[in-house]
Amino acid sequence: MSDKTNIFANEHNESAVQTIRSTMAVQLDDNGTPVISFATNRGKGSGAQVMPVSEYREYVETLGEYAEHGIPESTEEEQLSPSETVRRTIKQDDGILSFRVRSGKGAKPARLPTTDFSEVVELLRDTVDAVESAGKQLGGE
């Protein structure tokens, strides 16, 4: 038996928190800037959320505001900082929360069940100091 087809290859039962834990990394981008990247979901149409480490704390604080106070009815998208982009793009539909950290070609939204949102925010809050420390170690902060 040399050829195999994984029956569950397109099923992703990992929670958003599990996906973040397995994908979060701090590295230098092509310009030498420390960036944090992580995915909240896997599969078609998904991608990593990538932003400068210097903007991560404000991004997490912005998500925390929405976790605590709710999501506005409608938002619009512009070329803004990660936290401003979250403010403009966050939306909730059929129990799924989506938002982006940047706009433009190739920008993929983070998608996660609304039931996971508070836990995701807590996980991200718990990583802010470590992310900023890793960014400093990489020499950009």
pLDDT tens-place values along the chain, 141 residues long: 555 545 445 555 788 899 999 999 999 999 999 999 998 888 777 778 899 999 999 999 999 999 999 887 655 544 578 898 888 889 999 999 999 888 777 788 889 999 999 999 999 999 999 999 999 999 754
Neighbours of 100 (CB within 10 A): 20
Nearest alpha-carbon partner for 97 in 105, 86, 82: 86
Model pLDDT, residue 7: 46
Cα gap 82→95, rounded to integer Å: 23
Model pLDDT, residue 43: 78
Cα gap 25→53, rounded to integer Å: 11
CB 101 within 8 A of CB 49: yes
Domain contains 78 = yes
Model pLDDT, residue 4: 53
Q: What's the domain range around 36?
A: 16-137
Model pLDDT, residue 124: 93
Amino acid, res. 60: V
Q: What is the CA radius of gyration of the chain?
A: 16
Domain contains 107 = yes
Domain contains 127 = yes
CB 26 within 8 A of CB 53: yes
Domain contains 124 = yes
Domain contains 32 = yes
Model pLDDT, residue 46: 74
Cα gap 109→18, rounded to integer Å: 17
CB 113 within 8 A of CB 17: no
Domain contains 133 = yes
How would you classify residue 63: left for phi > 0, otherwise alpha for psi between -120 and 50, otherwise beta? alpha
Domain contains 116 = yes
Give the number of domains in the chain.
1
Model pLDDT, residue 126: 94
Cα gap 99→67, rounded to integer Å: 13
| Start-end of H helices in 7-139 | 16-23, 56-69, 82-89, 117-137
Domain contains 9 = no
